Amino acid sequence: MRAVLLSMLVLLAPTLARAADLLVSVRTASGRPVADAVVTLPDVHGPSHLSGPYRMAQHDLQFDPFVLVVPVGAEVAFPNLDKVRHHVYSFSPAHPFELKLYGRDESRKVRFDKAGVIALGCNIHDSMVAFILVTDAAAAAKTDANGLAVLHDVPAGDLTVRVWHPYLRAAGNTLTARGQGRMAVTAEMRAPPEHRGAY
């Protein structure tokens, strides 16, 4: 019996060691939570933990959400929930595209096959700005209004964490940190532009 229990523990041990949650808190130096930051783990490989359907709506003359994170190969729907028509486009090198004027309750789909940042705009409404982060990282999560992101089923022990936000003041709008369990990351932010434009 004891031998059976022991061998069961030996079998279980690697699984237990692998399954951990990582809580990442992103705040400014003054303690303000940073929402919409995307946390990825570049050293964790395998299939994406993200699951669709993926959606970037146009609602009340804004994109919703402001930041969407999707795995490479994801198809993203762009439903228009407004009474007016929108003309969605991106000049981003990872996937330039254009969705010519379409109206209420219509939708379009775009597949993103390359990792990178897709900055979105609308030809009609300059104040509409949003971003899609297309990632090849298996583990990815976005911070909520409290600046918190939880990554499930990640390896235990020290991990490299990458934090991206369109208005993060850093090379590639990305900073890197290392830690485990619960991590607090301080991010220096710049003021969002008044209009769409380079970020």
Within 8 A by CB and 6+ apart from 75, the residues are: 52, 54, 109, 110, 111, 112
Whichever of 86 and 162 has its CB closer to Cu ion, that residue is 86
Q: Say if residues 106 and 79 touch (Cβ distance below 8 Å).
A: yes
- Looking at the Cβ atoms of 101 and 156, the one nearer to Cu ion is 101
Q: How far is the CB of 100 from Cu ion (least distance, A)?
A: 12
- Rounded CA-CA distance 189/199 in Å is 12
Residue 86 CB, nearest distance to Cu ion (Å)?
3
Shortest distance in whole angstroms from residue 121 CB to Cu ion: 9
Least CB distance to Cu ion at residue 122 (A): 3
Q: How far apart are CA 178 and CA 176, in angstroms?
A: 7
Query: What residue is closest to Cu ion based on CB?
Result: 122
Q: To the nearest whole angstrom, how small is the minimum distance from the Cβ of residue 97 to Cu ion? A: 15
Q: Which is nearer to Cu ion, 8 or 124 (CB)?
A: 124
* Closer residue to Cu ion in complex, CB, 32/104: 104
Contact flag: residue 108 with Cu ion (CB under 5 A): no
Which of 122, 133, 151, 163 touches Cu ion by CB under 5 A? 122
Residues in binding contact with Cu ion, number by CB under 5 A:
4
Closest to 149 measured CA to CA, from 25, 43, 32: 25
The answer to whether residues 86 and 108 touch, using CB atoms and an 8 Å cutoff, is no
196 forms bridges with which residues in the sheet?
A: none
Amino acid identity for residue 178 in this structure = R
SS3 10: helix
86 lines the binding site for Cu ion (CB under 5 A): yes
Binding site for Cu ion (CB under 5 A): 86, 122, 124-125
